[in-house]
Structure 1
Amino acid sequence: MTKTADKNNINPIIDKLTDALAKERLKGYFGTANATEKIELFEKAFGVKLPFSHKVFLRNFDGGFIADKEADSLILIGEFDEAKNLRTRFLSIDEIIEEYENMELDDWQRPSWFDGFYPYIPFCITSENEKLVFVDHSLMTEESFVYAAFHDTPAYDWIVAADNFTDFLEQFFNSGGNPDIFKNDAVINPEDFLEALNERKEEVRNPAAIIKRSTAYLSLLPDSALTYTERANAYRDSHQYEKALADYGKSLEMEPKFALAYYCRGSMLLSIKKARQALIDLDSACQIEPDDCLYLTGRADAFYELGKLEKALVDCNHALEVNPHFFSALSTRRQVFLALGETEKAKADAELIAELLEEDE
């Protein structure tokens, strides 16, 4: 980053905005400041950090915009959303969470080589419906540039709209809520700041870190069956099986047809030598999604452990009809063939497995 934002510099511009709104020199529509706990939970849940100055802003204004005459006239006739969309608007912490999660799920503009926590945090939507974003602040000693992250523009061509959030807020205030984001046409590749963040990739997969993030996420969004399953998997990987079972149970209470939760619980039960219980869950997963190769192979593994070799073979063959190169099904079928004494077929599967491994190298 080229310009350090003094952590205290944000306060004078917040004071000016507060005063202008109070004295109605500007007509603004801003959220009530109650974002502190959600900011902390957002950062814990997703493993990222917002710039300090933006967090100070959110603690004063939980999102909002300044209206011009056109927007205000729309608000007077009850068209608030239409009015809001005409203006550059700050996202509330709830909107940041929703938008960030959508971008993360889509891997939007994530470089193929980057394995860390999703690095781009949206905080503002322009009147042209384009995002303004920060780079994750976790390892930065200086505040992130404000990037104009346009839909069709690759990240390396994003324009720097401001040197930091404090500068952007000042532009926002001085322009009456309609800053010219093209005023500064500098292009500084945000990917230049991702190499250090990529070193945190082990935290993405670490079970203890997953449990911590999932717990924070569930404090924000307690109805996420997927997150309960993800935390259950982390408990499983930490050998905390009772806690894992409790979370799988909560996930399935929320979504009784959640095949993935049945599969994960069944796989865990199989790993701790409870094959009969495992088979019930793995069969449930296959009943819900009968052509899923992973679930079919999981049920085949349970049949194999229970000595039901012909049934295991049927499931492996079904999976391999769907995907002839599905590695796990080939591996399980090889074991089944060996148990059935069909060594030539087992050898053929072993050769195909070796070929697939060689192709992956």
Structure 2
Amino acid sequence: MALNENSSKDYQTTIEEFNKANDSTTAEFFYKRGGIRQDHFDFEEAISDYDKNIALDPANFKAYYNRGLSKMEVMLFPEAIKDLDKAISINASQDNAYNNRGICKCIQGKHEEAITDYNLAIQINPGLAEAYNNRGISKIKIGFTEEGCEDLHKAYDLGDKKSAAAIEKYCSHK
């Protein structure tokens, strides 16, 4: 998604004001600035800031998680998986870390591994509709259409309205 000229100026102003108002020697500075950059779709710079945060605070699972998300956005899936692995190793109760790692694996065609991650995400948070949707797609991709459609319907029932398109595509042909 490209930034228009006005939003680009707003972003640069935000970064400049943040830099002036904060101590640029702390891990927190780089973590927060990385978040601003990530929110403005500047993923390469966000990754750079998260790198600096992690160098100063290697136990910050959120930095690994967010760096992994930024790497997903720039299609560095193997690297994103490594960051999500590290985030999970620090804090194993992060349902979204498992779900996003599953997405990376699914994109790489590793559907069985992705399903394992979606299962873990659902185990932690049975209401995580996106994990049911993602698991359903992976199940369908490896030939378990009925089970996959059950997951897609569950995702829809939990409020994931985007699963309606997948239900239409994969589950309405009986």
Q: TM range, normalised to the smaller chain?
A: 0.7 to 0.9
| Among candidates 32, 39, 45, match of residue 243 of structure 1 | 45
1:297 Cα deviation from its structure 2 partner: 1.0
Structure 2: distance between partners of 1:351 and 1:288: 33
Q: Using structure 1 for the length normalisation, give the TM-score.
A: 0.38
User: 2:26 is matched by which residue type in structure 1?
Assistant: D
In the other structure, the counterpart of 1:211 is 15
Give the distance between the partners of 2:120 and 2:85, measured in 1 at CA: 14
Q: Determine whether 1:342 maps to 2:144.
A: yes
Shift in Å, 1:277 = 1.3
Q: How do 1:113-192 and structure 2 match up within 5 A? A: none
Bigger proportion of residues as strand: 1
Question: How far did 1:346 drift?
Answer: 1.9
How big is the shift at 1:313?
0.8
Equivalents in 2 of 1:266, 1:229: separation in Å?
A: 13
Distance 1:216 1:357, change over 3 A: farther
Output the aligned Cα RMSD: 2.3
The residue type paired with residue 211 of structure 1 is I
Change (3 A) 1:317 1:208: farther
Residues 30 and 49 in structure 2, CA contact (< 8 A), matched pair in contact too: yes
Cα deviation code 1:23-67 (max 9, x no counterpart):
xxxxxxxxxxxxxxxxxxxxxxxxxxxxxxxxxxxxxxxxxxxxx
Q: Distance in 1 between matches of 2:26 and 2:42?
A: 22
The answer on whether the counterparts of 1:208 and 1:238 sit within 8 Å (CA) in structure 2 is no
Q: In the alignment, what sits opposite 1:323?
A: 125
Cα distance change, pair 355–213 in 1 and its aligned pair in 2 (3 A) = farther
Aligned-partner Cα distance in 1 for 2:62–2:12: 21
Match of 1:312 among 114, 132, 150: 114
- Shift in Å at residue 244 of structure 1? 1.5
Local SS of the residue matching 2:126: coil
Deviation at 1:213, TM superposition (A): 5.1
TM-fit CA distance, 1:261: 0.8
- Counterpart residue identity of residue 218, structure 1: N
**SS of structure 2 residue aligned to 1:331:** helix
Unaligned runs of 5+ in 1: 1-205
Q: Quick one: percent identity of the two aligned structures?
A: 25
TM-fit CA distance, 1:332? 1.9
More helix by share: 2
Q: Which residue of 1 aligns with 2:101?
A: 299
- C-alpha distance in 2, partners of 1:345/1:229? 40
Give the alignment partner of residue 254 of structure 1, picking from 32, 39, 56: 56
Decide whether the 8 Å contact of 2:47 with 2:70 is kept in 1.
no
Q: Give the Cα–Cα distance (whole angstroms) in 2 for the partners of residues 345 and 276 of structure 1.
A: 28
Count of matched residue positions in the alignment of Structure 1 and Structure 2: 151
CA distance in 2, matches of 1:242, 1:319: 27
Give a deviation string over 1:266-295, Cα, whole Å, max 9, x none. Answer: 111112111111111111111111221011
**Which runs of no fewer than 5 residues in structure 2 stay unpaired?**
1-9, 161-174
* 1:281 matches 2:83: yes
Residues 1:213 and 1:318: Cα distance change in structure 2 (over 3 Å): farther
CA-CA distance at 1:224 after TM superposition: 4.0
